[in-house]
Structure 1
Amino acid sequence: MFFMVLYSIYSHATKHKTHTRSQPSPSNMSKQTFKVCWCFRRHFKLSDTEPPTDIKELFNRYSDNDVMTAENLQRFMTEIQGDDSITKEAAEAAMDAVIKEVKHLPIFHRRVLNLDAFFRYLFSDSNRALCFPPKVTHDMEAPLAHYFIYTGHNSYLTGNQISSDCSVVPIIESLKRGVRVIELDMWPNSTKDDIDIVHGGTLTAPVKLNKCLEAIKTHAFVASEYPVILTLEDHLTPDLQAKVAKMVTETFGDVLYYTGSESMIDFPSPESLKKRIVVSTKPPKEYLDTAKSMKEKDEGSLKTKTSSEDDPWGVELSDPVETYLSLDEDHKDEEFQYEEETMKQSMEPEYKQLIAIQAKKLKGGVKDWLHDDPTAAKRISLRETRLEKAIESHATDVIRFTQRNLLRVFPKGSRVDSSNYNPLIGWSHGAQMVAFNMQTHGRSLWLMQGMFRANGGCGYVKKPDLFLKNGPDDKIFDPKVILPVKRTLKVKVYMGDGWHLDFKRTHFDIYSPPDFYVKIGIAGVQADSVMKKTKIIQDDWAPKWEEEFEFPLTVPELALLRVEVHEYDMTEKDDFGGQTCLPVFELRSGIRSVPLHDQKGDKYKSVKLLMRFDFV
């Protein structure tokens, strides 16, 4: 009788599954009901799942008498995975790691793999799509201008740009993720005798400069040994500049990088700046007290909309916020223009000595901004909209400028919700510092995280040679020109696994297995960017798609592979099932394990896809 009751409940729940996609809250479900429903969840184990057809065929090809020896595995790694330098010892180590997990099976009294163990190996961390464990593989001896650098914008903000708190927490989180450029806006506090870090002219609650400096000192090199650059927006009087100089030198000591009085013809290399803090700012501007006028305005007209799943760039504003736009354009976008008399004001010598990378003001037209002074390398900053206008007619000039100088791009002022923009706009024109709001999430940030999974996640990615070397007749790369296909990436999506172990973070229908599908595509230059998707696999915690896609690439050096898993819902918005973004230029060929991440970019405990990558 008990099992008949259970079957009745299960049948009813399955019949109405499209109306019950969200997990019921405890207030709407009794404790006893929850226990009954939970027993129907399938506790999937990889060994209980039939391997895809290709995997079976490969195992048969590279095994003898239904077992794979270390020599067999080495041959598979060489011929299918493309690991030409793999040794027998490395194959044995990979085999031992798998055997350790399944040693309860009677066959493992010797060093061989059966089909199940081979299947486990393919899903293991040692067989990831990117090098694992991560390691730096790029040349790190070139000048800073030759690298894309993981860059934060308003790094102290916990939420939106208007009313959120300022805190050391987002600074610490950014550094733990490998961000190498931290931005601090320095303003006098209400008593004018101390320094606040705050988004000036807004309702954001400040945090003290000394707390931010201490947090940076503690966490700067947790994720990477390569230099942390502090971009400072300075709104201080000379006496407070002197106070900043004392704070910075006392906090960082010998870790602080000084250039001396001479200008640098070229910037130093990341290698030479290991475990150093580098300060970059403009000559100071007089403090403008706009906070009072902002507080008197009504900020209640914030309106945002969430973009559709087909919009690759996340959250956009439906209407600009009038109160924010009422600020002068330069203050709103944090790209301050300095009048000549302001430039001539005195600067404390101790403070001036801190500035290793001097940011220059924008003056005149685009050609003037991008003037390359052969006697001194410099940094300029452009908001995203100004860059878009500049590249309409000066794309190659922008790229030529970035061969020696640093270009920082930052979000337009109307992104008060802390949304982000397409980073490929900056990267495809050589911009090293594409500054992002790290406290929000969305597809733009997934691309940023994907780019900086390259080079061991150290926060510095060597720019492709096409940005650094001119062609015949001094010809510069132009991302608008459609080039011939250089390589074609073939991707096969076999299957997925692990959602059952991360149920609390994925929140799928409690009554029946999900209906998963995969969206897969390329983000890169316009000619290469595309998105495709698999069929929907119904009612399966370990879905098998076994579908293949081809992506012709004209500029594979800039291409990022986008992968998203969703759960189809007939009546509501499809549920999110995981995502990742991988730099195509570092993909390992062959059949690989691809770990998925949540919407914030944190890796799931166990959710993975099994995929194959081949370049032709």
Structure 2
Amino acid sequence: MGPCLSTPSGAGSLHLDSMRERETDDFFQTVSRVFHPKFDVAGEVFKGYFDEQTRVITKQSLERFFRDAQHELPPDELEDEYDVTAAFDAFVLARDNFVVGKSVVDESTMHEPMSHYFINSSHNTYLSGDQLLSNSSTDAIKRALLHGCRVIELDCYDGGKDGPIIKHGGTRTKPITFRSAIAAIGADAHTVSEYPVIVTLENHCCVAKRAEMADILKEELGEKLAVPASGNMAAWPSPASLRGRVIIRDKLKHKQDKKKGAGASSETPAAAEEIPDDDDDEEGDDEPDTADAADEPETDAATRLKSLVTVENAKFKTFEEAMSGEKLFSCSWGEAKLLSRVKKTEKPVVTAFTEKHLLRCYPAGHRFMSDNYDPSPAWSVGAQMVALNFQANDKPMWINRGKFIANGNAGFVRKPKYLLDPALRGAPSSPRRTWSVTVVAGSGWDNFKDAELVGAPDTYVKVSVTGTVSDAKTCTTGTFTDQRVGPKAQPYFNETFDFPVTEPELAVLLFTVYDKDTVSQDDFLAQYSCPVSMLRPGVRVVPLYNEAGRYIGKGKNAKACLVVKVATEK
């Protein structure tokens, strides 16, 4: 399946079901409660806890179910007995019985250097579609921020009388003004998370236009704009120290100044119009050696934007040089360069680098359709900013959304100790825990009645552990088919899969639902993802989303879900 692109056209398209499920009772008020008549889902869930002859579960048995199966305290004021189907409806399809618990920010973990966190990051954030022909859009920026993104990338060019512009160089993408992009960031930078937004600039502007950019940043962001102290930082600031702030990531020296002269002005400098090669360390290969740009004039215009840069973007040379110097910096690697360097370098060397410096990774230049790469290899070596195309509703984006559910959707997730502590350098070598996931049954399958032109859809569920290279595993249920609509359309599987996990701090559990097709690629129907470390033991509900993160179910059709059992053992 190719990427499905979001093309924001207004506030109505900025849906956030996957972010809002905790805020209201809406999901469980409208979730489908119909199951296949041949499968006793309530009986399966409460097996061993109720009288199979009378189908009655007593208060004492229900309390035991909550303690032993759900690993939680039973509700107060239970009735003396329940019909088992009524108990299933009241206590399984119940408010907050999601497969993960409510995620809250652990503020005690937010005071470490920024290099100690995975940061929810986007690539070419301003694009509403593909990389060659789509429009630049402030709605695309807004959508990324409202989906928890903390790193916004802007490709900056000189523009004309309306000031610097944002566009994808060397393409026919339509621009927006730099001012409108910064205004959009200022408006929603902290709507979802109070923690800092990093604006990373791929900056092709001349000195005069960069000075204009500095003025725009100050005017549009005001007190939100973090202005760093002069001199080299001894340590990266913490997310907590930058609450409510926007910080700038940019180069301090620019190749176009050397090529065109410091005061030159053009809408699109020639060097910037090249489409980046996947092997470049920097997108557009726009980072000069220090010696090449040492003669940049330190005029007031030249220093105005430079004085606002908190995170210096510099060209990576060698691990030895990066670790021997005291200066902190950030660099960018394309996905191919990341894999190449990781393959050629001992993992402890890479993780030591990412503990000290900030590493941003980005999609290959050949991904013209804005599809994404697997973020797992980058996370596995501690890369903080794994930039993805947020407009592409594909598997890597689903994984990314699942990962950043953690820590209250703050957009900053602390890396595990073994990626930070030299004494623990390197991931554990053997599984630390095994998770068992049983896909019991589904409901709300009337929503998929049109998946097949003729007959009922042939649906199956994939359950995957991803987000970590060492633990990647996918299991697939059998295929279910019966009727297109009604009770007999609802699938049942009751299949159990075991997932030994070595790196639970990195692992993401992904559910995907497909319609099997014998003559073409199987059709995607639904998805859900979450951090493995947040899974709740017991019988839980998995809400199902479409590719863009909106609940499956609208109009007359109730919302779709899976009922699953989760167990874990060390």
Amino acid at match of 1:77: F
Q: Which residue of 1 aligns with 2:523?
A: 575
TM-score normalised to structure 2 length: 0.82
Provide, for residues 26-82 of structure 1, a one-character-per-residue CA deviation record: whole Å limited to 9, x for no partner: xxxxxxxxxxxxxxxxx97437853254313254189x993554x765543332122
SS of residue paired to 2:399: helix
Residues 498 and 549 of structure 1: CA distance in aligned 2, closer, same or farther (over 3 Å): same
SS of residue paired to 1:602: coil
Q: Deviation at 1:574? A: 2.8
Match among 522, 528, 543 for residue 471 of structure 2: 528
Q: How does 1:213-232 map to 2 (within 5 A)?
A: 213-232=182-201
Provide, for residues 308-329 of structure 1, a one-character-per-residue CA deviation record: whole Å limited to 9, x for no partner: xxxxxxxxxxxxxxx957x797
Residues 290 and 414 of structure 1: CA distance in aligned 2, closer, same or farther (over 3 Å): farther
Matched, 1:119 2:88: yes
Residues 54 and 355 of structure 1: CA distance in aligned 2, closer, same or farther (over 3 Å): same
Amino acid at match of 1:533: T
Q: Is the 8 A contact 2:328 2:356 kept in 1?
A: yes
Q: Distance in 2 between matches of 1:222 and 1:207?
A: 22
SS of residue paired to 2:369: coil
Q: Distance in 1 between matches of 2:416 and 2:204?
A: 37
Q: How does 1:187-226 map to 2 (within 5 A)?
A: 187-190=157-160, 194-226=163-195
Q: Distance in 2 between matches of 1:285 and 1:463?
A: 32
Q: Deviation at 1:332? A: 8.4
Amino acid at match of 2:69: I
Amino acid at match of 2:465: I
Residues 57 and 384 of structure 1: CA distance in aligned 2, closer, same or farther (over 3 Å): same
Q: Which residue of 1 aligns with 2:417?
A: 465
Larger radius of gyration: 1
Q: Is the 8 A contact 1:524 1:559 kept in 2?
A: yes
Q: Deviation at 1:343? A: 4.1
- Which consecutive residues of structure 1, in runs of 5 or more, have no partner in the other structure? 1-42, 96-109, 297-322
Q: How does 1:66-145 map to 2 (within 5 A)?
A: 66-67=56-57, 69=59, 73=62, 75-83=64-72, 86=73, 91-92=75-76, 113-120=82-89, 121-132=91-102, 134-137=103-106, 139-145=109-115
Q: Is the 8 A contact 2:124 2:153 kept in 1?
A: yes
Residues 268 and 112 of structure 1: CA distance in aligned 2, closer, same or farther (over 3 Å): farther
Q: Which segment drifts farther, 195-204 or 263-272? A: 263-272
Q: Which residue of 1 aligns with 2:537?
A: 589
Q: Which residue of 1 aligns with 2:333?
A: 382
Q: Which residue of 2 aligns with 1:499?
A: 445
Q: Which residue of 2 aligns with 1:11?
A: none
Q: Distance in 2 between matches of 1:48 and 1:532?
A: 23
Q: Deviation at 1:499? A: 2.8
Q: Is the 8 A contact 1:142 1:269 kept in 2?
A: yes
Q: How many pairs does the alignment contain?
A: 512
SS of residue paired to 1:233: strand
Match among 126, 133, 142 for residue 172 of structure 1: 142
Amino acid at match of 1:496: G
- Which consecutive residues of structure 2, in runs of 5 or more, have no partner in the other structure? 1-30, 261-265, 483-487, 554-558
Matched, 1:338 2:288: yes
Q: Distance in 1 between matches of 2:112 and 2:48?
A: 43
Q: Is the 8 A contact 2:129 2:391 kept in 1?
A: yes
Residues 578 and 402 of structure 1: CA distance in aligned 2, closer, same or farther (over 3 Å): same
SS of residue paired to 2:297: coil
Matched, 1:46 2:34: yes
Q: Which segment drifts farther, 596-605 or 157-166? A: 596-605
Q: Deviation at 1:198? A: 0.9
Matched, 1:279 2:248: yes
Match among 350, 359, 370 for residue 304 of structure 2: 350
Residues 190 and 210 of structure 1: CA distance in aligned 2, closer, same or farther (over 3 Å): closer
Q: Is the 8 A contact 2:36 2:492 kept in 1?
A: no
Q: Which segment drifts farther, 388-397 or 224-233? A: 388-397
Match among 385, 390, 393 for residue 433 of structure 1: 385
Q: Distance in 2 between matches of 1:353 and 1:377?
A: 16
Residues 295 and 270 of structure 1: CA distance in aligned 2, closer, same or farther (over 3 Å): closer
Amino acid at match of 1:385: A
Q: How does 1:543-554 map to 2 (within 5 A)?
A: 543-554=491-502
Matched, 1:249 2:218: yes
SS of residue paired to 1:126: coil
Q: Which segment drifts farther, 513-522 or 150-159? A: 513-522
Q: Distance in 2 between matches of 1:601 and 1:273?
A: 29
Q: Distance in 2 between matches of 1:341 and 1:615?
A: 57
The percent identity for this pair of structures is 30
Amino acid at match of 2:97: N
SS of residue paired to 2:465: strand
SS of residue paired to 1:546: strand
Amino acid at match of 1:409: C
Q: Deviation at 1:284? A: 4.0
SS of residue paired to 1:261: coil
Q: How does 1:376-455 map to 2 (within 5 A)?
A: 376-394=327-345, 395-455=347-407
SS of residue paired to 2:85: helix
Q: Deviation at 1:354? A: 1.0
Q: Which residue of 1 aligns with 2:14?
A: none
Amino acid at match of 2:341: A
SS of residue paired to 1:558: coil
Q: Deviation at 1:249? A: 0.8
Q: Which residue of 2 aligns with 1:559?
A: 507
Q: How does 1:6-85 map to 2 (within 5 A)?
A: 45-46=33-34, 50-60=40-50, 66-67=56-57, 69=59, 73=62, 75-83=64-72
Residues 555 and 231 of structure 1: CA distance in aligned 2, closer, same or farther (over 3 Å): same
Residues 112 and 126 of structure 1: CA distance in aligned 2, closer, same or farther (over 3 Å): farther
Q: Distance in 1 between matches of 2:367 and 2:383?
A: 20
Q: Deviation at 1:117? A: 3.2
Amino acid at match of 2:34: L
Q: Which segment drifts farther, 43-52 or 161-170? A: 43-52
Residues 527 and 354 of structure 1: CA distance in aligned 2, closer, same or farther (over 3 Å): closer
Q: Is the 8 A contact 2:204 2:272 kept in 1?
A: no
Q: Deviation at 1:577? A: 2.2
Q: Is the 8 A contact 1:335 1:382 kept in 2?
A: no
Residues 136 and 335 of structure 1: CA distance in aligned 2, closer, same or farther (over 3 Å): farther
TM-score normalised to structure 1 length: 0.76
Residues 598 and 216 of structure 1: CA distance in aligned 2, closer, same or farther (over 3 Å): same
